[in-house]
Amino acid sequence: MKKTIIIITGGIVFSTLFYSQNLGINALLYSLFLIITLFINHKTLLFEKTIILSGFAMLASATAICAHGSDWSIFMYFLSTFLFLGYIASSQSSIYVSWLNGIYTSLFGVFHSLFYQVEKEKKPENAEKIDIGQVIKLVIIPVVLIVVFTLLYSSSNPIFNDVLEAIDFSFIDVFWLFTAAIGSLIMANIEKPQPIQELTKKDQETPNELLPKSLNDLQLKTVQNESQIGFISILCLNLLLVFVLITEVLFLTNLNTTQASVLSQAVHQGVYASIASIVIAIGIIAFIYRGDVNFLKNNQNLRALTYIWIILNALLVASIFTKNYLYIDEHGLTHKRIGVIVYLFLTIAGLITTYLKVNHRLNFVYLIRRNLVISYTTLAVYGLINWSAIITEHNIVEEKVSRVYLESLLPQNALVLKEYNLYDDYKLQTKSNIYYYDHYNEQEFINRNWQEFNWIAHQLKQTNENISKETAAAK
């Protein structure tokens, strides 16, 4: 019975918060409802670190939606919610398996018993047995009979038909009920999150460490050949990267004569080149150090070359960061330029984890696990910040204003524009073929229901109301 109540309540809450509403405070309220409901059913998981952290991330991203409502905060909210549900299903899984478990349980949780033989929970012998199917029959069958006979009686009795027509059923919203049904289905799926068993078991049985094994003479010779191939490959990569770094230094020392378009192209191409080179080289290193090469006694030279490659790539990242910083200083901030900084940070993290893999004889799964956690954490924090407001503030102060670009950042930068007395003009939205975005409509944005509460919209509405009062008082 408790499960039935939770499912029905979940549908009512879901429809009340989200039916015909934009995302706002409803995301935060629904997240709190999920946490409370799931913790009631899973008290033993209250102190699991992964569940606590993913639950906090879900609440934080929901709060960001209330505060500024950027597209990135919305994306991270859904990603964090799936992660939270996945960790409820299996708290010891890797982050990518938890995402898959979260999606699986959200879509197919109620059908889990059809895919797997689920062992039924043992109940005390004196516990009251409740047949959920019988309860549903007791409700649905009488309702269906009442509807059928009401239609029959109304067609045969004019007075009864008049009474029915006099009753106003307009308060019943079929689509609201449909949304509630979807919410109930979602709650039925996630009320008791279930993992994909084979994938989860395989993940939990896979360690991060490589295990040494004894080799015969033929196997040892094969491993030594791989080590020599790896040595030559990484040596060539290092020599090539040294040449690239020399050209980077020459480029940076001649920036005074460099055109803005050339600098922009250098930044973008530098990022693309570093993506390609680092991903390929990490793949090569992962392949070389995938097994027995790690345990060769005479592989110090190979390791030394690998560490040099990691340091050289870190210098390449520093060079790209310098070019990006100079470009920002010259032309102002944009989301893409901030994105370059985020990517460079993740690249440094990838280099560090690659060093740890080689130094501590870890496997490729370790690289995936660790870098996904770092990437997710970085992007989750990134989604909490209203970068549109920061970009607008910086560009106005530094006088690097591009009106069309700042207009494309509305409504997230509305309060900053208002502070600098630009909002009333910028909200009119100049048409542009450069930036493609949904045009800002102030009235649609600020006239929100309580479920859609957004701090920026609230502040704008308060300001408009104060101006209206002052104007009325002046008259």
Give tens-digit pLDDT for 40-86.
877 777 678 899 999 999 999 999 999 999 999 999 999 999 999 99
Residue 196 and residue 104 in one domain: yes
Of the candidates 90, 24, 136, the residue with the CA atom closest to the CA atom of residue 411: 24
Per-residue model confidence (pLDDT) at position 277: 73
Q: Would you say residue 171 has pLDDT above 80?
A: no
Per-residue model confidence (pLDDT) at position 415: 94
Question: Among the ranges 55-69, 99-113, 181-195, which has the highest mean pLDDT value?
Answer: 55-69
Residue 76 lies in a domain: yes
Binning pLDDT at 50, 70 and 90, where does residue 255 land? low
Per-residue model confidence (pLDDT) at position 151: 74
Express each pLDDT in 360-388 by its tens digit.
888 888 989 999 999 999 999 999 999 99
Per-residue model confidence (pLDDT) at position 168: 60
Least confident of 96-105, 227-236, 266-275, 400-409: 266-275
Q: Which of 150, 182, 207 is the last residue of a domain?
A: 207
Residue 441 and residue 317 in one domain: no
Of the candidates 411, 408, 403, 339, the residue with the CA atom closest to the CA atom of residue 375: 339
Residue 288 and residue 250 in one domain: yes
Least confident of 84-98, 237-251, 288-302, 378-392: 288-302
Distance CA 88, CA 44 (A): 10
Between residues 192 and 26, the one the model is more confident about: 26
Between residues 214 and 15, the one the model is more confident about: 15
**Residues sharing a CB contact under 8 Å with residue 157, sequence separation 6 or more, in sequence order:** none
- Would you give the distance in Å from CA 90 to the centre of its chain? 19
**How many separate domains does the chain show?**
3
Per-residue model confidence (pLDDT) at position 41: 78
Residue 299 and residue 412 in one domain: no
Q: Which of 207, 227, 260 is the last residue of a domain?
A: 207
Residue 379 lies in a domain: no
Residue 186 and residue 230 in one domain: no
Contact 411, 445 (CB under 8 A): yes
Distance CA 35, CA 24 (A): 18
Least confident of 86-95, 164-173, 276-285: 164-173
Express each pLDDT in 311-344 by its tens digit.
998 898 888 888 888 888 888 999 988 998 998 8
Per-residue model confidence (pLDDT) at position 95: 93
Contact 259, 267 (CB under 8 A): no
Residue 425 and residue 463 in one domain: yes
Distance CA 306, CA 314 (A): 13
Give the type of residue at 204: Q
Per-residue model confidence (pLDDT) at position 2: 73
Question: Among the ranges 1-10, 51-60, 135-144, 168-177, which has the highest mean pLDDT value?
Answer: 51-60
- Quote the mean pLDDT of the chain: 83
Residue 187 and residue 223 in one domain: no
Per-residue model confidence (pLDDT) at position 333: 93
Residue 386 lies in a domain: no
Per-residue model confidence (pLDDT) at position 140: 63
Binning pLDDT at 50, 70 and 90, where does residue 439 land? confident
Residue 161 and residue 239 in one domain: no
Averaged over 230-242, what is the pLDDT?
87
Residue 276 and residue 411 in one domain: no
Residue 78 and residue 190 in one domain: yes
Between residues 440 and 262, the one the model is more confident about: 440
pTM of the model: 0.83
Distance CA 305, CA 347 (A): 19
Q: Which of 207, 239, 272 is the last residue of a domain?
A: 207
Contact 356, 365 (CB under 8 A): no
Per-residue model confidence (pLDDT) at position 322: 86
Residue 340 lies in a domain: yes
Residue 367 lies in a domain: no
Per-residue model confidence (pLDDT) at position 300: 84
Residue 134 lies in a domain: yes
Q: Would you say residue 206 has pLDDT above 90?
A: no
Per-residue model confidence (pLDDT) at position 130: 46
Averaged over 127-138, what is the pLDDT?
51
Q: Would you say residue 209 has pLDDT above 80?
A: yes
% of the chain at pLDDT higher than 90 = 30
Per-residue model confidence (pLDDT) at position 249: 86
Q: Would you say residue 289 has pLDDT above 50?
A: yes
Least confident of 319-323, 387-391, 451-455: 319-323
Residue 201 and residue 223 in one domain: no
Binning pLDDT at 50, 70 and 90, where does residue 458 land? very high
- The residue segments making up the domain with residue 229 are 217-362
Per-residue model confidence (pLDDT) at position 127: 47
Per-residue model confidence (pLDDT) at position 115: 63
Binning pLDDT at 50, 70 and 90, where does residue 221 land? confident
Q: Would you say residue 126 has pLDDT above 70?
A: no
Residue 242 and residue 191 in one domain: no
Per-residue model confidence (pLDDT) at position 270: 65
Distance CA 136, CA 113 (A): 20
Binning pLDDT at 50, 70 and 90, where does residue 155 land? confident
Residue 328 lies in a domain: yes
Per-residue model confidence (pLDDT) at position 128: 47
Residue 402 lies in a domain: yes
Binning pLDDT at 50, 70 and 90, where does residue 172 land? low
